[in-house]
A and B are shown apart, each in its own frame.
Chain A
Amino acid sequence: MKILIVDDFSTMRRIIKNLLRDLGFTNTAEADDGNSALPMLQNGHFDFLITDWNMPGMTGIDLLKAVRASDKLKNLPVLMVTAEAKRDQIIAAAQAGVNGYVVKPFTAAALQEKIEKIFERIEASR
């Protein structure tokens, strides 16, 4: 299970990376916005994407749309971890095909629950 963590704040990347390690996911990579993340996703074999929304360069929502528009990446599970908490933003993310949405500040349990739910759904749809 290879996971890409995208956030412009290194503090948040580190927090998510540590939490994933606790959950047993040790194969992670990091990017600081959509522009650096997209080529990594296209060239590497990632199984899961965790992205922030508000980033300079390419935002998380644009990254999500680019992922869904790509033949290679369209089925990649995407979890958004963001401070953007407006109802219409969450609806927009859902419409763009996000698999989960965690609002900052969040708890370790919330992140774990969303990740597990995403994988359960993927298993069930197979």
Chain B
Amino acid sequence: MSEQEEKNLTDDIAGNFSNALRERTRALINSLEVNDMASASELIRQINQVRDETLYQEVGRLTRALHNALRDFHLDIGLHANARVEHELSEMVDARSRLNYVISMTEDAANQTMDKVDEAAPLIQSMVEESRSLQDQWQQFLVSQDSIPPAQAEMFARIDTFLQQVDGDGQSVYNRLTDILMAQGYQDLSGQVIKRVIELVSDVEQSLVRLVKLAASVEMVAGIQTSVQVQAPKNDAQKIKAEGPQLNSAANKDVVTGQDDVDELLSSLGF
């Protein structure tokens, strides 16, 4: 629904109510002037009823919008991944478990990266240490030589440079491994954000269920003439509340059932 459409609808609802109010107010004044108390009471009752119905329609519209937003959030994300991943994704019909999937995927990726860093770091470290000890020995050897044969002078210089380079570059590779390790902190930071979104989704789902129940009781109290059946949500609402972030697939099924029950409940309310 566009902003303009939404504004029109809001104006309509408010307009309908004020029209109804104006009409009945005139009639109410007339009734009072001729001292017809029965008609006056009836008109006041009608004004109340129109107001309740307007409120109820608004609550219903809000509930419907919230429900649609949630349903969209639950839609298949439609990734064309390999068969195994696709199978895993098809199991995840629920937004929270999908977000938890992201957390566990990034955690695995970060751990794999850190495994490689842990494997590479000691290799480069021992290479640096060995090059340093060899440099010492090499310098002692050079000092012990009376003269360096001219034929070998160039090679000796290259060996010298190479040993220093292994030391310097090796240290620099080690520092970059530390940088790679530090960069894995993204998993913590993004994970914290995702966990907040998971909490938000849980809150929204709970609010939706409460809103649907509220809409039903508003309708009942207002005595509006549609048949209202409030079904099932009690147990499912409790499950959603107790669950928190999604942890296992068995619970995922429960959440889906809850969502279906919300659909069912909404349709029974005539939305």
User: Of the candidates A15, A54, A83, A104, which one forms a contact with B181 in the assembled complex, judged by CB atoms under 8 Å apart?
Assistant: A15
User: Which residues of B have CB within 8 Å of A14?
Assistant: 111, 114, 184
User: Which residues of B have CB within 8 Å of A9?
Assistant: 107, 187-188, 191-192
User: Of the candidates B111, B181, B192, which one forms a contact with A18 in the assembled complex, judged by CB atoms under 8 Å apart?
Assistant: B181
Q: For chain B residues 175-200, which have a beta carbon within 8 Å of chain A?
A: 178-179, 181-182, 184-189, 191-192
Task: Take A14-B111, A18-B114, A18-B118 as given contacts and tell me if A7 and B178 are in contact as well, using a CB distance cutoff of 8 Å.
Answer: no
Shortest Cβ distance from residue B151 to the other chain A in the assembled complex, whole angstroms: 44
Interface status of B110 (Cβ within 8 A of chain A): yes
Interface status of A44 (Cβ within 8 A of chain B): no
CB distance A11 to B188 under 8 Å? yes
CB distance A11 to B192 under 8 Å? no
CB distance B114 to A104 under 8 Å? no
For this complex, into which size category does the number of interface residues on chain A fall? Answer: 10 to 19
Q: For chain B residues 106-135, which have a beta carbon within 8 Å of chain A?
A: 107, 110-111, 114, 117-118
Q: Measured between alpha carbons, how far is A108 from B175 in the docked complex, in Å?
A: 10
B contact residues vs A (CB 8 Å cutoff)? 107, 110-111, 114, 117-118, 178-179, 181-182, 184-189, 191-192
Give the total number of A-B pairs whose CB atoms are below 8 A apart.
54
CB distance A107 to B111 under 8 Å? no
User: Of the candidates B107, B178, B188, which one forms a contact with A104 in the assembled complex, judged by CB atoms under 8 Å apart?
Assistant: B188
Q: Measured between alpha carbons, how far is A80 from B114 in the docked complex, in Å?
A: 23
User: Which residues of A have CB within 8 Å of B178?
Assistant: 19, 22, 108
User: Which residues of B have CB within 8 Å of A12?
Assistant: 185, 187-188
Task: Take A11-B111, A14-B114, A18-B181 as given contacts and tell me if A105 and B189 are in contact as well, using a CB distance cutoff of 8 Å.
Answer: yes
Interface status of A119 (Cβ within 8 A of chain B): no
CB distance B185 to A105 under 8 Å? yes
